[in-house]
Amino acid sequence: MSDASEKVTAIDKARKLSDAIREVKNAAADRDDVVVEMREAQRMRLEMLAAELRPVFEEVPGDVENFDFVISSGMQPRLWIDAVSHVTMGRDRRTYRFLKDTRLGRVVLAESADVKPVADQVTRYIAERLVERQRLMEGATEPILPGADRQTARDRPRSSRGWWTVLSALLIVLAGALVGFLLTGTLLWDRLSQLWTSF
């Protein structure tokens, strides 16, 4: 029993706090080195993709300012294509993921461990954006409904449906006011009856 208590209470006088701090700092530096190496590896892979896409980037007209074509630094390096789309590496650090941010969330446009399919999809995306921009510049429009005429809304005569919409909206507002008045009267009925009897 005394031997066990001596083992528990015995303190190694040779151990110093400075040694423990040095060990912790070394371990943290080793972990930081691993993180930096992983980040560098991701950046190198993205640079390989950018080199594959360089001819495509150079073909984009100089007056088009929609595209970024830069690799951002940070904890998660990204090859930015435009303000809403970028390529990043997956969790395994080997898979390229071409992502686009939309109003409904992030969409994966392409995902592969090989550079070529992702580069092809990025090239197609850039082409689609350029064609879309050109159509907007030319003022080309397409009807929302199939078979609809190509007349713009400005050129169409106003229909009686516009008045019906205004009247129905007005009726809804009046109905809401009436319901609110009745609800307030119901909730305050006790106070109103007391006020009425006091006169």
Domain ranges of the chain: 12-138, 163-198
Please give the radius of gyration of the chain, using alpha carbons only, rounded to the nearest integer: 34
State how far the Cα of 133 lies from the Cα of 139, in Å rounded to an integer: 10
Nearest to 64 by CA among 136, 124, 140, 133: 133
pLDDT in tens, 38-65: 778 888 889 999 999 999 999 998 888 8
The model's pTM is: 0.54
Strand residues in 30-144 grouped as ranges (E): 67-72, 78-82, 85-89, 96-102, 105-112
Task: Pick the more confident residue, 30 or 151.
Answer: 30
Residue 150 corresponds to which tokens in the numbers above?
């190509």
